[in-house]
Copies of this chain bind each other. A is one copy, B any other.
Amino acid sequence: MTTASSAQMPPQSARQRVLDVALALFTRHGYAGTSLQMIADEMGVTKGSLYYHFRAREDLLRALVGPLIEQLRAIVEHAEAQRSPSVRAEHVLTGYARLAAANRALVAVTSGDPSVVEVIHADPDWADLIDRQIGLLAAVQPGLAGRVRATIVMAGIAATAAPGVVEADEAELCRQLIDAGRRTLGLRAPRA
């Protein structure tokens, strides 16, 4: 029955369904606390049928996180091309707030879950990108103060966007995250 139902689904949607269920379980139990067996049980399929899409749990995590990282890369590169530290920080702040408001569960997992943070930091390319993101936010204020404010903003945005934390639609959440981030970093809202 399991194999039959997978076979009837177009492979792309079957793959996406695995990713959706995995993200829900990572959110609830953490990445380290979620086995491929738990994902298979939640989907009502055999573990063997998951292997068709993902050979290991880390492949699954990378398939979830990879597209988010590529969006973050575009934000960071666009920001780095700006002319001043505060314009660069403003670009990272607004871009990251939009990303978090549009991908609430995924951003929460990538930022808060220590077992996911471990995987991300073990990838030199991903670790470098996140360093650049923090560096752009921290550069508004030299020294430790800038570093502390940048870390509060990044971790705070991810935690606040996490599912079930605050009740707000995507646009309103995004606006509030940007407003709070500007206050923390000491950025003025750009003229409209």
Residues of chain B within 8 A of A31, CB atoms compared: 30, 33
Could you pull out 6 A-B pairs where Cβ atoms are within 8 angstroms? A28-B114, A29-B114, A144-B166, A144-B176, A151-B159, A152-B184
Nearest chain B CB to A37's CB is how many angstroms away? 14
Tell me the complex Cα distance, A177–B145, Å. Answer: 9
In the A-B complex, list the 3 residue pairs whose CB atoms are closest, starting with the nearest: A32-B33, A152-B156, A155-B159
Asked whether A77 is an interface residue with its Cβ less than 8 Å from the other chain, the reply is no
Contact with B along A165-190 (1 / 0, CB 8 A): 11110001100110111011010000
Nearest chain B CB to A139's CB is how many angstroms away? 15
Residue from A31, A111, A115 whose CB has the most chain B CB atoms within 10 Å = A115
* Main SS at interface, chain A: helix
Query: A180, B33: Cβ atoms under 8 Å?
Result: no
Residues of chain B within 8 A of A166, CB atoms compared: 144, 147-148, 151
Query: B160, A176: Cβ atoms under 8 Å?
Result: no
Contact pick for A160, options B152, B168, B183, CB 8 Å = B152
Tell me the complex Cα distance, A144–B114, Å. Answer: 28
Tell me the complex Cα distance, A112–B153, Å. Answer: 15
Residue from A28, A34, A183 whose CB has the most chain B CB atoms within 10 Å = A183
Contact pick for A155, options B28, B115, B156, CB 8 Å = B156
Contact pick for A115, options B33, B148, B156, B181, CB 8 Å = B33
Query: A157, B152: Cβ atoms under 8 Å?
Result: yes
